[in-house]
Every structure is written in structure tokens, then in C-alpha cells.
Amino acid sequence: MFGFFDHRRQPDIRRIGPQSAQDCAQIHAQSFAHSWSQADFESLLAGRDVIAEAAVAAGPWGKSRKLAGFVLSRLVVDEAEILTIAVAPRFRRRGVGSALLATHLASLAGRGAKVLFLEVEAGNHAALALYAQFDFHQIGERKAYYRKADGSSEAALMLRRDFV
């Protein structure tokens, strides 16, 4: 059936390029208050230092269709930073984020990454739980870093993961 993952097997994770910018922008807009445009993604996904992977939702009869989630990192020499990771709301809590991150970590390690950084909102419990499963640890905090639509603010936590 279109749009569902078979829970008995891992989602299909693929490298993506600028042709996936529209799908990424759509999922990003569903996931963050301050969304990035299709043009933003086109330019990021064309970057030589950007490594991007996506989970592909299976269509009818096994045909691949839309993206269910994606992750983008920038790798400079042996230091990487996750720029963004998101799973479309209807595909969440099915292991897509974990599968994306596991594959992405292996890709980064294969390209020589020794350390990986990211920033996350202090109140983003789903993301923090995901990162904890992958051995990220907090190395800093920027108070009142994220401005919310209602005028309030939230701290950004800086996390780090070492590849050993």
C-alpha cells in the first residue's frame, strides 16, 4: 500500500541531490517553525561538502515514491555537523529517524568524519531521545537562542558525537 513502511524490514535509505529539494522543503515546513525554501535546499544539496540521505516511502508494488524523511550534514575535513534532520509527520515513530541516522553515521565515518556536532532546541524531547540512543552528549548551551512564533524563546543545546 502506498506510503507505508514494512515494519519487518529497514526503510530504503538513499543518497539524495538537488532533485529532492522540493520534497525536503515540504517535510522541513511540516517539521520546523522557520522553514527553509526549495531554493535553500537546492543550493545545500548541490554543495560538495554536504552529505544528504533520505528514507524513501514504498509505493504500490514496491515502487519508490515520495521521501519520508531526510538528513543533511556538512563535512569539512574530519568534522561534520548535522544541518537538519526531519521525518514527515505521518511517518514518525516507525524507526525512520533511527534508520536514517544509523546510515548517515556510517556514511560520515566512511568519508573520514571523526566528530559530529549538532544543535537542538532544549524542549525537543523526541530529537533528544533519538540523539541519546546514538551516543551524542551535550557540550554546551545557548540560552534564549530560538525565537518562537509566540514571542517566547528557547535554549539551543550543542551536542557532540565522536566516531571511535
Catalytic residues: 119, 131
Q: How far is the CB of 90 from ligand COA (least distance, A)?
A: 10
Q: How far is the CB of 129 from ligand COA (least distance, A)?
A: 3
120 binds ligand COA (CB under 6 A): yes
Sequence-distant (≥ 6) Cβ neighbours of residue 4 within 8 angstroms: 57, 58
Q: How far is the CB of 76 from ligand COA (least distance, A)?
A: 20
Decide whether 112 or 153 has the Cβ nearer to ligand COA: 153
Contact 87, 49 (CB under 8 A): no
For the chain, state the CA radius of gyration: 16
| One of 10, 26, 31, 138 touching ligand COA (CB under 6 A) | 31
Decide whether 94 or 163 has the Cβ nearer to ligand COA: 94
Name the strands in the sheet holding 79-87, side by side, starting at the edge strand that comes first in the sequence: 12-15, 50-58, 64-76, 79-87, 115-121, 153-162, 137-147
- What amino acid occupies position 127? A
Cα–Cα distance, 20 to 24 (Å, whole number): 6
Residues 69-108 that bind ligand COA (CB under 6 A): 85-87, 92-98
> Which residues contribute to the site for ligand COA (CB under 6 A)?
31, 85-87, 92-98, 120, 124-127, 129-130, 133
